[in-house]
Structure 1
Amino acid sequence: MSTEQPVAAAAPSQIEEEGQPLSDEPTYRSILRATSIVGGGSLITILVGLARAKGVALLIGPAGLGIIGLLTSVMTTATTVLGLGLASSSVRSVAAAVGDPAALGAIRRALWRSNVLLGLVGLAALSLLSVPIARYVFGSGARAADVAWVSVGVLAALVAGAQMALLQGLRRTGDLARASVTGAVVAAAAGLTLLAIFRSDGIRWFVISTPVATMGAAFWFTRSLRPVRGAAAPPGAAVWSQWRAMISLGWVLMVAGVAGGVVDLFVRSVLARHLGVDAAGQYQAASAISIQYLGLILGAMAADYYPRLAQVADRPEAFRAAVNEQLEVAVLLAGPLLLAVLGLAPWVLTALYSSDFRAGDDLLRGLVVADVLKMATWTIGFALLARGRSAAFLALELTGQAVFAGATHLLVPRVGLVGVGAAFCLYLVWSVAIGWGGVRPWHGVSMHRRPAFYLAALLGAAILTAGASQVSDGASAAVGLALSALAASFAIHRFREMDAMPSVAGRLSRLLSMVRRPPRPE
């Protein structure tokens, strides 16, 4: 069907089929249902991504991976700027409009037209500015052609974002996971094939393969959303009204995203200038592992937690319960994996990349320790967005990114690569202190004792495991694996107390049909 046709509201039965009740109080069971769907899809995507990264490491080494990271940062920053935060803000609008077909149709049309137009602007802008951008990022204009080709990825990413936002807002977690998995598999196959054929000349094709493949998968899985029979296209005034509502929050998300992208690019540039492009490759490898494994949990937050909060934002008790239940489940699920990665850091880098990347093991440990605190910052960040507290959210993001950039600038020239890990820890300590200490009294969200205790215990275990690496890598592995097993046992015990384990088992069985063909529109 046409991508601009209005869509019918997802019926309650459709949503409940995905395990996401719309009107009930948030429960551990429903949280774990969403986590098992999105987390299962993320696990497959991560495994594909790790195989993809392994192929890159073997084909072009740390320097090539560093170039990929820099080009990806350019593409991500441009996508964030041009997207105006519409993909994220529209999730809140779609979730609030469930049950109103006219509003959903207007939101979809506004989102589609805006993202296509903004993508075309990006295509032209990056092509025209490719030489100065390449000089700033790489120190010369030799990669200007690669920067110009990255503009195609920006257009594809914006179009894909519009479709994925629709699935997320409707809480179609199954289709959202299937689209992500399909895009990752296609991107890995196409990207590595092109890289194997063209080697370093294929880097540009490798970088844009992910957004292009994701765009195709997103279109495929939004085909199942049925148009309203006989419904007229939404009037221009309704589309404009929806666009203004989305942009009122979207610009805040855009500014925060741009700040994150600019700081990420700044960190990579600092590493490349002071330590060489190999150090940028080491950072790319370590940060990718940190992002990917925690994405199993935070991906579920982004896919279900945000629209869930938007639907109970005006119910204080339900809102506080949702925040704390999500944080508790996140800590319990992430703990065993986090401690295992922390203990096995050198072997993880070698297995997923190559022995050339083992020099980044201390950096990886620093990033993983900080990841304990990242769960708390993500939880409060989504809470602020769901409540529409855009100013508080923006202040939290900008001050945190400023701490990260400043600490990196000061520490890297003095202590080398490990300085980035220390800077990241300082950034998240600051964010937790401001988010839960400063923002909480203003917006009525407090951390309950149980998740606070679990978070503190996990942080202590992570620090103990990282500290054991000063004795030997073997000692760190023994401590990390022992604590990981203990955390896993406790998590299973706690989930059984919640009476949530059956829902996880049932949802995991559905992963076998993760990439099934969606039903055709009637």
Structure 2
Amino acid sequence: MENNKESYKQIFKSTTIVGGSQIINIAIGIIRNKVIAILLGPAGVGVSGIFQTIIDLVRNGTGLGINFSGVKNVAENNTDPHRVAKTILILRRWEFGTGLVGMIVIIVLCKFFSNYSFGSDAYTFSIAIMSVTLLITAVSAGQLAILQGLRRIGEMAKANLLGSVLGTVISLPLFWWLGISGVVPSMILTALGALTISWLYARRVITEPVQLSLSQTFTEGLGMAKLGFFIVVNGFVATASLYLIRILIRSHLGLDSVGYFQAVWTISTMYINILLNSMLADYFPRLSVIKDDKIASNKLINEQLEMTLLVGTPMLLLMIAFSSLAISILYSSSFHVAISVLKWQMMASFFTFISWTMGVLYLSKNKGWYAIIAETIRQAVYISFIFAGWRYFGFNVLGIGFLAGNLACLFFVIYSTKRLNAFSFSFINVKSIFFLGGSVLATLSSSLYLNGIFQYFTNGFLILLTFIFCLYRLDKILDIRTWFKTRYKSFRRIQ
């Protein structure tokens, strides 16, 4: 039991370190999004969202997932100074090369992206200039991957945080000065700021000198690219789907509606990424090391899943209950038409917690095809639901379809992890999934179908009950009360 507690504590420690910096990033993002919403309006948010989707689409297609597979390789070779030095050099060179390829692709296709995304070639030059962010962010991602692979989680968190601060300081004056025309300069300067900060931290990593020719770099980096290929296809499927959905919204309802969708998508993914990225920082390297031990890896997956549900679910309930307030704070009241979509997406995020935690197993075991199939199922169901349900559900189909896609993906992940690793949920996780999932569903139903005092009372009761359950379980696995008693006694002695 003591070993179990130490494992939970390690999960919680890495989560709080990265999560703390992510929360500050969110606070910074709130300010940035608020300013963008006020200065640029829904159409400006829509333009910014489409630009970012183009960048993500090409990055996923050309980046080969090197930063993700690099984390795994650095973590596995961490005990051998020569091999880790070699891996880091290969990672840096491949990141630069893939970033350069991505930049060239956007330049070549800039007119196509402008015509297809906006219905004219008016944004051709802007998209071409924006391409440089691909090269910059690729190099920056490689440097953060080195820190993560070496499990220097605190430094990685600081680099992310300071990069976000610097990017905000740079971008806000540009939006005030240039309006929508400031979107591209802001993206470029923000990427440069993040690159500078990540370089300052990555340069502290001292490795022994190694000599590698370009041909050796290419040959020995193919292992990273092989695993990265699955990440590329997986990310490409997701990003292409998102790009198609935004184009569908623009063609049906115009750029303002793209802005509404961009707003709720940013809020939902922003919150989810806080938690999942915080946990991934330490979880993926740990799982990669024990991937061949089914009992140990399944135990770690269950521990990680329990922590994810206990930490994440209360926040889902708060986001569903206060979605109107969240949109008003993050954007403006003009975005309220998308409130119901946000609620459905937060419900879907509960199932993302489960499938994501289990799905990391695919990449740790170099079985990336499973991840591709899972993501393809998610996006195929999502898009099919939008096409089939638009006339019945209207704009809300964007949230309902997302829920349907996440459920379909989860069923596949449960089946495939059982077949691949003989995985099964622990008894406590089965109870947690039913109880916490029921709480999320009940809060969603209350928020959609009740009004006034009845809604506030029901949501308040559900949130309180869920917080009590989660705190009770966290105390069981982390000894929270003992920690507070120790700190209280220390404080009394000082007094």
TM range (shorter): over 0.9
Task: Rate the CA distance shift 1:99–1:198 in 2: closer, same or farther, 3 A.
Answer: same
- Deviation at 1:120? 2.0
Task: Rate the CA distance shift 1:504–1:193 in 2: closer, same or farther, 3 A.
Answer: farther
SS in 2 for 1:233: coil
Determine if contact 1:126/1:151 at 8 Å carries over to the other structure: yes
Determine if contact 1:339/1:481 at 8 Å carries over to the other structure: no
In structure 1, C-alpha distance between the alignment counterparts of 2:122 and 2:155, rounded to whole Å: 41
SS in 1 for 2:259: helix
Highest RCO, 1 vs 2 (Cα 8 Å, sep ≥ 6): 1
Equivalent position to 1:400, from 352, 357, 378 = 378
In structure 2, C-alpha distance between the alignment counterparts of 1:467 and 1:24, rounded to whole Å: 36
SS in 1 for 2:60: helix
1:119-518 aligned at under 5 Å gives the runs 119-228=99-208, 231-234=209-212, 239-468=217-446, 469-472=448-451, 475-501=454-480
| 2:56 maps to 1:76 | yes
Task: Rate the CA distance shift 1:474–1:234 in 2: closer, same or farther, 3 A.
Answer: farther
Cross-structure match for 2:493: none
In structure 2, C-alpha distance between the alignment counterparts of 1:480 and 1:196, rounded to whole Å: 39
Q: Which residue identity is paired with 1:211?
A: A
Q: Which residue identity is paired with 2:90?
A: A
Q: Which residue identity is paired with 1:177?
A: A
SS in 2 for 1:75: helix
Determine if contact 2:11/2:279 at 8 Å carries over to the other structure: no
Determine if contact 1:290/1:368 at 8 Å carries over to the other structure: yes
Cross-structure match for 1:518: none
- Deviation at 1:483? 2.2
In structure 1, C-alpha distance between the alignment counterparts of 2:215 and 2:79, rounded to whole Å: 20
Q: Which structure has greater helix proportion?
A: 2
Task: Rate the CA distance shift 1:313–1:504 in 2: closer, same or farther, 3 A.
Answer: farther
Determine if contact 2:60/2:236 at 8 Å carries over to the other structure: yes
Equivalent position to 1:85, from 49, 52, 65 = 65
In structure 2, C-alpha distance between the alignment counterparts of 1:501 and 1:42, rounded to whole Å: 23
**TM-score, normalised relative to structure 1:** 0.88
- Deviation at 1:358? 0.9
Q: C-alpha deviations, 1:89-111, integer Å up to 9, x for none?
A: 11111110011122112211212
- Deviation at 1:313? 0.8
Determine if contact 1:95/1:307 at 8 Å carries over to the other structure: yes
> Which range is displaced more, 293-302 or 267-276?
293-302
Determine if contact 1:283/1:360 at 8 Å carries over to the other structure: yes
Q: C-alpha deviations, 1:203-234, integer Å up to 9, x for none?
A: 11233344332222211111211132xx4424
Q: C-alpha deviations, 1:161-208, integer Å up to 9, x for none?
A: 111111111111101110110111111111111111101111112333
Determine if contact 1:38/1:300 at 8 Å carries over to the other structure: yes
SS in 2 for 1:142: coil
1:27-38 aligned at under 5 Å gives the runs 27-38=7-18
- Deviation at 1:474? 5.6
SS in 1 for 2:122: helix
> Which range is displaced more, 76-85 or 464-473?
464-473
Determine if contact 2:65/2:231 at 8 Å carries over to the other structure: yes
In structure 2, C-alpha distance between the alignment counterparts of 1:480 and 1:320, rounded to whole Å: 35
Determine if contact 2:136/2:192 at 8 Å carries over to the other structure: yes
In structure 1, C-alpha distance between the alignment counterparts of 2:145 and 2:168, rounded to whole Å: 23
In structure 1, C-alpha distance between the alignment counterparts of 2:202 and 2:381, rounded to whole Å: 40
SS in 1 for 2:211: coil
Determine if contact 1:332/1:491 at 8 Å carries over to the other structure: yes
Query: Any stretches of 5+ residues in structure 1 without a counterpart?
Result: 1-22, 509-522
In structure 2, C-alpha distance between the alignment counterparts of 1:485 and 1:51, rounded to whole Å: 29
Cross-structure match for 1:5: none
Determine if contact 1:149/1:204 at 8 Å carries over to the other structure: yes
Q: Which residue identity is paired with 2:271?
A: Y
In structure 1, C-alpha distance between the alignment counterparts of 2:79 and 2:432, rounded to whole Å: 38
- Deviation at 1:254? 0.5
- Deviation at 1:127? 1.8
In structure 1, C-alpha distance between the alignment counterparts of 2:191 and 2:360, rounded to whole Å: 25
Task: Rate the CA distance shift 1:342–1:225 in 2: closer, same or farther, 3 A.
Answer: same
> Which range is displaced more, 23-32 or 432-441?
23-32
Determine if contact 2:288/2:364 at 8 Å carries over to the other structure: yes
In structure 2, C-alpha distance between the alignment counterparts of 1:436 and 1:273, rounded to whole Å: 37
Task: Rate the CA distance shift 1:500–1:250 in 2: closer, same or farther, 3 A.
Answer: farther
Determine if contact 1:111/1:243 at 8 Å carries over to the other structure: yes
Task: Rate the CA distance shift 1:477–1:91 in 2: closer, same or farther, 3 A.
Answer: farther
> Which range is displaced more, 362-371 or 341-350?
341-350
- Deviation at 1:452? 2.3
Determine if contact 2:86/2:210 at 8 Å carries over to the other structure: no
Q: Which residue identity is paired with 1:498?
A: I
| 2:96 maps to 1:103 | no
- Deviation at 1:403? 1.5
> Which range is displaced more, 365-374 or 301-310?
301-310
In structure 1, C-alpha distance between the alignment counterparts of 2:96 and 2:484, rounded to whole Å: 40
Q: Which residue identity is paired with 2:202?
A: T
- Deviation at 1:24? 9.8
> Which range is displaced more, 145-154 or 117-126?
117-126
Task: Rate the CA distance shift 1:334–1:112 in 2: closer, same or farther, 3 A.
Answer: same
Determine if contact 2:81/2:207 at 8 Å carries over to the other structure: no
Q: Which residue identity is paired with 1:463?
A: L
Determine if contact 1:194/1:205 at 8 Å carries over to the other structure: yes
Task: Rate the CA distance shift 1:46–1:470 in 2: closer, same or farther, 3 A.
Answer: same
Task: Rate the CA distance shift 1:65–1:505 in 2: closer, same or farther, 3 A.
Answer: farther
Q: Which residue identity is paired with 1:305?
A: Y
Task: Rate the CA distance shift 1:456–1:87 in 2: closer, same or farther, 3 A.
Answer: same
**TM-score, normalised relative to structure 2:** 0.93
Cross-structure match for 2:491: none
Equivalent position to 1:54, from 12, 29, 34 = 34
In structure 1, C-alpha distance between the alignment counterparts of 2:222 and 2:351, rounded to whole Å: 34
Q: Which residue identity is paired with 1:362?
A: S
Pairs aligned (count): 483
